[in-house]
Structure formats: C-alpha cells, structure tokens
Structure 1
Amino acid sequence: MPSFSARALMLGTFAALLAACGGSRQVPPPAAPEVGVVRAHAEDVPLVRDFVGRLSAYRTADVRARVAGILLKREYTEGTDVAQGQVLFRIDPAPLQAALRAAEAALAQARANARNAEETVQRVRPLAAKGWASQQDLDNALANARSTAAAVKQAEANVASARLNLGYATVTAPIAGRAGQQMVTEGALVGQDGPTELTVIQQIDPIYVNFSQSFAELQQLRRQQAQGLLKPAGKGQVEVQVVLPDGTLYPQPGKLSFADIAVDPGTGALSLRGTLPNPDRILLPGMFVKVRLIQGRQTHAFPIPQAAVQRDADGAYVLVVGADGKVARKRVDLGDMRDGQWVVTRGLAEGEQVIVSGLQHVNPGDAARAVPYKPLPAARAGAR
C-alpha cells in the first residue's frame, strides 16, 4: 500500500498536469456589438419655416348712407355673398325727388332768363351801331347775357347733384363679397350728421394671411444663397401653406405676395403677406393660423432619423461607424426637423454610416458591427 508521501506526490503531480492543461486554453474576446446604421446621402431638401399668421379679407368695403333720409328696407340677407352693384338698402326717396324737381324748375327758369338776355343783346346791338342806343346800353345787355348763361350752368350743376343724391337713396354693393350684419334698422334716420355705416362687405376669395419674419433670419438666408447652400424655391415665387387650428394642412397653397421694405423697429421683423385661394370659404378673416413658408431648397443636406442625433454641453453630434469598424463621434449642424428626420447641414460626408439603433452599447473608439437600420413598426414604436 502506497505511503502517505507517495500519495501526496501523485496528487501534486496530477494537480500540476491539470493546471498546465487549463493554462493552455484561451478565452475568446467578446463579439463587437451590433448597431443599426443608415448611410448619409446628400439631397436638396426644402427649407421650411413656420410662423404665426392672421387672416384678413382681400378687400373690405364699408357700405354707408351718403344722403340723409329714413331707411326704408334692407334688400339682402345678412352673411350672404352679394354681387357688385347689387341693391342692399333703400332710403326714402321722396324728399330727394322733390329736391330734384325744384332743381329742374330752377334750371328751366335760368334757361328762360338766358334766352331773354340773348334776345335783348340782338335788339340793342344794331341800334348801338346806328347810334340810336348808347354803348352803355349794349354793354349792360351783354353783361346780363353772360350772367344768365352762368346761372344756367349753375342750375344744371344743381340738377346733376340732386339727381346724384336721389341715386344714393338706393344703396348698392361697391364690391363683390360677403355682406355682414346690418348696422342700422329700418325706420332709422341715416346720413344726417355724415355718412352712416350700414354694413361691411368683405371679399374673402382669395384671402390674405399676414405674418412677420425676423430680419436677422432673412439675412442668414441671403448669405446661404450667396454661398450656394440654398436654391430658390421656385420660379421667383415663394410657396405659402397654412395649417388650420385643428392641425390639418389647408389643401390649397398660396404665394408670397408682399414683403415690406421697412423693418419694424420694435420687433426687428419684416411684415410679410401671402395670398391664398379660398373658394369654399374655409378660411375666415381674423383667424389665427400657422403659416408654413417654403423659402428655398437646401443643397448638400443630409436627412437622418431623429433617434441618431444626440446632444451634450457642446451641441449636437452623431456616432458613425468608420471603414475600420470603429465608432467615432461627429459634431453636426442641424436645420429643420420634418417627419421624424433631422436635416444635417454640416458635419457629415457622403456615404458615412450613422448609428441609429444600439447607441447605448457603444462609445467612441469601440468596435461595432454595422447592419442596416430597420425602423420599428408604428404600433410597436408607439408601445415603447
């Protein structure tokens, strides 16, 4: 039977063999984490700016009583569209008709006086030529003829004025549009101490949207155009879109129709105005809306998913997987965000692999295995 020392020697030898065998095995390094990437691709991206705007009528006309009288009747339905020249109100014409008849009678009298004066001149002139009438008599006859002729012209003007006033008794629409509420009821005396407002007509097809933009922002856009980073939006026209208060996009875009030439010293902004078609009268004056202005197309811009952009104290950055399989950090300048994508205006190069998913597993300098990024379905993304 082996002694204690022999057994100990055997056990030690066996342990040494086991240790030697274990030391020869090498633990494999951990696999590089998998990250979802998108390749940066430069595009011409619309440059869109949002503003708060207010709608106003394309044309507005105050309908007023231009002669004094009693309002007899309203001829239109409040809140309906009226045509230009359509009768809206009627004022009692009887006093105006009487004034016209008096003016016509005065005109007839003036014409009769003028004929008599002219006949007197015709009688006195040959007598004065023969010495049977004095030169003073002829001069008086001529002066009277001139005076009565002037009186005829004055009487004609009075008739025209009276006829015009009678026409004002029928109040018509100066423009086509939607007529508002009646301001004065039937039976009221109007036009006594000046023109009385009866209603307001507003033309709302097309319709204006008024808003303002910072002059500093406009200067920046001009610099971008000068540097070739921004192309015009269209053939000299800037498209204007409107987002309704419920968040839906108004289906008919318009055009920028006016830009002020002076900057408001209080706000540092420039007043702008767009014109939009409004055939269905969806847009109404006084409404506040969001104005979406397409001011050009950004050249060499990179749309990337929102999830790829991170921020720290120094600004925005993205992580990319380089050709060597290593992760690198890149600072980027951001433009607009549309439809869940940031527009990167500076900091990326064509074809770079931008990490979108798996960002929590890697840091700059780490190795990573890039696979194409697959967005989550809408239902799953909402659940998360």
Structure 2
Amino acid sequence: MQRSRIALFVLSVLAGSVILTGCDQAVEQSQASAPQAVPVGVVTLKNQSLTLKKELPGRISAFQIAEIRPQVSGIVQSRLFVEGRQVEQGQALYQINPATFEADLAASEAAVARAQASIASSKSKASRYSELLKIKAVSQQDFDEADATYKQANAELLTAKAQLKSAQINLDYSHVSSPISGQISKSSVTVGALVSANQTMALATVTQLDPIYVDLTQSSNELTQLKKAIASGALSVDSTSQADVELMMEDGSVYSHKGTLQFSEVTVDPSTGSVTLRAKFPNPEKLLLPGMYARASIIEGVKADAILVPQRGVSRNSKGEPTVMVASKEGIAESRVLKIDRSVGASWLVTAGLSEGDQLIVEGLQKIRPGVPVNPSEVQSSGTAGKAQ
C-alpha cells in the first residue's frame, strides 16, 4: 500500500514536470514566431518657409549702343579720339572739313542782312502811301503794290533766317560728336577719307557698358505654372526681393554686384517657346561684356508650407517614381509615392505624398520592407532650408 502511494507521487511529479516543460517550449515558440521591431532612424517632417529661386540662362547686352555716322558730306580733316577709350556725351569725335559750310553760313548771314534792309525800305514806303491814300494823293493800286512789297520783304527775311539756321546746323554737323557716353570702338575711316551724309558704314561705335543688361530666357510653361502658383496663394511674392537678381559668371564665380529685374516680354518666341526677361546690373569694373554667356538666379516667391525631404531617404520604384518609407503611428513601415518639385541643397522639395508630422525613415532602409514593425528613433536631418534653386 505504501509502495503504491510512493509510485503515485512519483508519477504525479513527473507529469507536472512534463507539463511545465511543454508550457515553456510553447512560450518560446510563440516568442520566436512574433516579428521583432527593427530599429530605424527617422526624421520628423515639418512645414517651413522657403524662398524659391530659379536659375536662368542669358546673354549680356549693352545698355546703349550708338553707331556714329556723318550727317553732312565732306573730307575727314581729323580724328579727335583714342580708339578703345572712354568718350563722353557731346565729345567731338571727327572733324569734317568745314570750309564749305562756313562759306554757306556767311552767304546766309548776308541774305538775312539784305532782307532786313529791304524790309526797312518797303516798310517806310508803305507807311507814306498809307497817309497819302487818306488824302487821295495816291491811288489805291499804288498803295496795294507798296504794301505787297513790304509783306514780300518780310517773307524773304523769314526764308533767309531759315537758310541761315540750316547753314549753322550743317557747320555744327561738321563736328561729329558722340550722342552717348561709353567706350568707343576702332575707327573705320582715316584722315582724308570722303564720307557721305547718312552713309551705311558707321565711322565708329560707342557702347555704354555701365550699367549693362542681361537678357534671360525662361520657359513659357514654367512662367505659366509660376503665375498659377502665385494666383492660388501657394506662393507669396515680395515685390522688393523679387526684383533682386544674382549673376553667375562663365567660370562659375558669383558676380559681386546684384542686379534688378526690369521687365518681362509679353510675347513668346515661337521657335524656342521661351520668354525673355531683362535684368540690369552695375558694371563699374567692366567685367561684363556684350555677348558673354551667364546664368542668373531670380526669386520666384516664398512657399510658406514647404516640406523638405533628405535625398538619402528617397529611392525610385520600377516606374521611376520617387518613393520613401515612413513609420506609421502604429510603428509599421509604410511606402509612399511622392511628387517632387526641385532639389534644395541635399533635400527634395515635396509637393505631394507627405505631410507635416510624418516620420521619414532615413537609416536602416536596407533592413525593412512595407508592413514590417519598426522602432523609430530621431536622427539629425542634413536638409538645407531657406532658399531653393
């Protein structure tokens, strides 16, 4: 009896041990089958104010260009400038032989004097005949003839004065002067050359280089989208800062002076589909020369709720669309397809697919896939904010 009780006790102990062992194994198996949360680094996205800038190609053109041509014919007597130097407005550049024009001027002065003398005589005669007519001492015909002679003398004086003015103008034109201030080119004629009034060939060209223009080209589609964004309120415009233009030289350096946007063309070039914008820059060092290529950065506007995404967190799917992984509030990795506007430093400006507060996964991407539990931890973002190119 006692032996049977001992045997029963041993059996109960062994059964309990088997049950405990089975429970432990079941717990271990359930823990092994449950997926573990993958640690990842995330960046919490925030809306920020962003100044959008656009780089546009352009060509430099002169502020003013004046082609010097003679307005009277004659022989070039002297050249009064140094080629390639700065000349001022009104400065004499060439002297055409003035002898003929001086003679014409003297003849015109004599004609004026003769007309004035004729007026004095005819006026006196007309006055006497007027008094005599009152007492019937002369006929009406005699008075009419005297009065007509006086009026004719007045007309001849006016003609003589006009010829005198024309002769003076021609004499002045024998001094060929510069209509603007600027740098003058080489001369196309030498002393002794015969020149003609309004000839096709220019004697020289004066170019004003300070200030100077930069003509930029922008796609008409880009301009339309920009106007729509401003009209919808997606972009705000500061007219003061929007007029500022920054210029990049051909060697990649930034021009030391800022320019101002002057105007935009109202027509689209049908051959290129682009619109021309003109900016004016100071050019005291004469570094900018007409015909040079340059790139200018203009301010399009300010986006108040911009979202910037680090480029290291963006990949492409099989369709070529930009995608990212985000950590949901439940701690699950989710894939998002984005719409991207442009690059901003080491970041992308996103217009759709993400919103403020989303946790963008930027570290540990190779360990996860959509639907996997993740354990997010904040990392330092290296995105660039403030201005966008």
- The TM-score bracket by the shorter chain reads 0.7 to 0.9
Relative to the length of structure 1, the TM-score reads: 0.83
- Of 238, 241, 266, 2:243 maps to 238
Q: Does 1:144 align with 2:149?
A: yes
Secondary structure of 2:69 counterpart = strand
Residue 331 (structure 1) aligns with? 337
Between stretches 23-32 and 291-300, larger displacement belongs to 23-32
> For the residues of structure 2 that align with 1:370 and 1:314, how far apart are their CA atoms?
27
The answer to whether the 8 Å contact 1:117/1:145 transfers is: yes
Residue 351 (structure 1) aligns with? 357
Residue 79 (structure 2) aligns with? 74
The answer to whether the 8 Å contact 2:327/2:361 transfers is: yes
Residue 131 (structure 1) aligns with? 136
Residue 158 (structure 1) aligns with? 163
- The code of the aligned residue for 1:139 comes to D
Q: CA 1:74–1:32 in 2, change beyond 3 Å: closer, same or farther?
A: farther
Identity of aligned residues (%): 36
> For the residues of structure 2 that align with 1:304 and 1:212, how far apart are their CA atoms?
29
Instruction: Return the offset for 1:146.
Output: 0.9
> For the residues of structure 1 that align with 2:288 and 2:44, how far apart are their CA atoms?
43
Q: Does 1:114 align with 2:101?
A: no
Per-residue CA distance 1:78-119 (angstroms, 9 max, x = gap): 233222222222222222111111111122222222222223
Q: Does 1:213 align with 2:218?
A: yes
> For the residues of structure 1 that align with 2:252 and 2:344, how far apart are their CA atoms?
15
Instruction: Return the offset for 1:56.
Output: 1.4
Residue 16 (structure 2) aligns with? none
The answer to whether the 8 Å contact 1:300/1:345 transfers is: no
The answer to whether the 8 Å contact 2:242/2:300 transfers is: no
> For the residues of structure 1 that align with 2:110 and 2:57, how far apart are their CA atoms?
63
Residue 286 (structure 2) aligns with? 281
Secondary structure of 1:263 counterpart = coil
- The code of the aligned residue for 1:335 comes to D
- Of 324, 329, 342, 1:318 maps to 324
> For the residues of structure 1 that align with 2:207 and 2:339, how far apart are their CA atoms?
46
Between stretches 347-356 and 287-296, larger displacement belongs to 347-356
Between stretches 287-296 and 222-231, larger displacement belongs to 222-231
Counting matched residue pairs gives 357
Residue 365 (structure 1) aligns with? 371
Residue 176 (structure 2) aligns with? 171
Between stretches 188-197 and 280-289, larger displacement belongs to 188-197
> For the residues of structure 2 that align with 1:42 and 1:145, how far apart are their CA atoms?
91
Q: CA 1:227–1:67 in 2, change beyond 3 Å: closer, same or farther?
A: same
Q: CA 1:277–1:372 in 2, change beyond 3 Å: closer, same or farther?
A: farther
Residue 10 (structure 2) aligns with? none
Secondary structure of 1:366 counterpart = coil
> For the residues of structure 1 that align with 2:266 and 2:334, how far apart are their CA atoms?
48
> For the residues of structure 2 that align with 1:110 and 1:39, how far apart are their CA atoms?
97
Structure 2: give runs of 5+ residues left out of the alignment: 1-20, 383-389
Q: CA 1:82–1:361 in 2, change beyond 3 Å: closer, same or farther?
A: farther
Structure 1: give runs of 5+ residues left out of the alignment: 1-19, 377-384
- Of 61, 70, 73, 1:65 maps to 70
Per-residue CA distance 1:289-341 (angstroms, 9 max, x = gap): 12222110122112222222212216212122333433211122212213222
> For the residues of structure 1 that align with 2:174 and 2:201, how far apart are their CA atoms?
13
- The code of the aligned residue for 2:335 comes to R
> For the residues of structure 2 that align with 1:169 and 1:294, how far apart are their CA atoms?
50
- The code of the aligned residue for 2:61 comes to S
- Of 252, 259, 262, 1:257 maps to 262
- The code of the aligned residue for 1:94 comes to A
> For the residues of structure 1 that align with 2:258 and 2:238, how far apart are their CA atoms?
14
Secondary structure of 1:111 counterpart = helix
